[in-house]
Amino acid sequence: MKWLDLKVPNPWISVTCSIFFAASDEKFIVTVGKKNGGVEMEFGSQQYKNEIIKQYPKAGLTFDCLPEPYSGNPDANVYCLNMNPGAPDPCFDKPPLTNDLYVQRALNNLKHAVSSAFWRESLVKSKGVVTDNITLFESLINIKSAPTFSIHEGAKWQRQITKELRKEKGGTNPNIFFLEYFPYHSSSGFDFPEFLPSYNYRNSLLEFAMNEDKLIIIMRHESKWYNIKDRYIGYRLKRYKKKVILKDKQGAWLTRNNMVLPIPDCRCDSLSWKDIINMM
């Protein structure tokens, strides 16, 4: 676990069932939310939340649920660079949060204490109670409407985009780590801030991946990743050889036909589909 040697401390270990920000982001976001003649609002107040959300009214930006800056184990062989966690699942992510199995795993994910990016896979919720039942999860995964049971929308999305990979691997999940550009949930994309203090940790994880010669798959907005605030990291990523980008970034399917191999004008090594499967 060489990622333990990262120089930047993990800001996400401060997140709890009631604190949904990285500690390092709090002051910055409050500053963004200063309105009414520069009067600083009480952090976490409804007025504060309303003013923050006004910044991006069409994006459905929300800070009242568990963030997801990444998913999985940083020791994974493949890093998938995404934009942000998307809309929160109202059945799992929204308050009131109790100390149930889902919350425990979500917090463990923030502490890098999960073995796989598919840590939600097997969790099923019924009448407010989360159980760990992979058989029931498998039976519900393709059902669009299940009034009694719920499974996390993020787990469904992961299943969809990795379907071909799992088939190639004989049904097992690929060994991947999802890293988000922006760590907080929104129902749609928007012009994500170029800087948050927690981005320093994100950049450290990305630098670690390149130092360890991991495969990097840029799922969305490579220009954003190439121009992150730490220009050295972006410059290095742009010229990093062991990477691929996706053709259809809307669907972000991790399939053979959706990967650009190799990337034109990026001095990248020519990676085959078989190479990618072997890394996972």
Give the integer Cα–Cα distance in Å for 72 and 119: 7
Q: Identify the band that residue 90 occupies on the pLDDT scale cut at 50, 70 and 90.
A: confident
The pLDDT assigned to 210 comes to 94
| pLDDT one-digit tens code per residue, 99-120 | 689 999 999 999 999 999 999 9
Establish how many alpha carbons lie within 13 A of residue 257's alpha carbon, considering only the half-sphere containing its beta carbon. 2
Q: Does the pLDDT of residue 33 top 50, yes or no? A: no
Give the integer Cα–Cα distance in Å for 87 and 61: 8
Buried b (16+ CB within 10 A) or exposed e, 239-271: ebebbbbbeebeebbbbeebbeebbeebebeeb
The pLDDT assigned to 173 comes to 93
| pLDDT one-digit tens code per residue, 50-81 | 655 555 545 566 677 889 999 999 999 999 99
Sign of CA dihedral 83, 86, 92, 93: positive
Q: Does the pLDDT of residue 191 top 60, yes or no? A: yes
pTM: 0.87
Least confident interval from 31-40, 92-101, 154-163: 31-40
| pLDDT one-digit tens code per residue, 244-276 | 888 877 778 898 888 876 555 554 556 777 888
38: left (phi over 0), alpha (psi -120 to 50) or beta: left
Residues forming beta bridges with residue 79, ordered by sequence position: 177, 216
Q: What is the mean pLDDT of residues 156-160?
A: 92
- The domain ranges of the chain are 21-55, 56-279
Residue with tokens 């109202």: 90
Residue with tokens 């840590």: 119
Tokens linked to 228: 């992150």
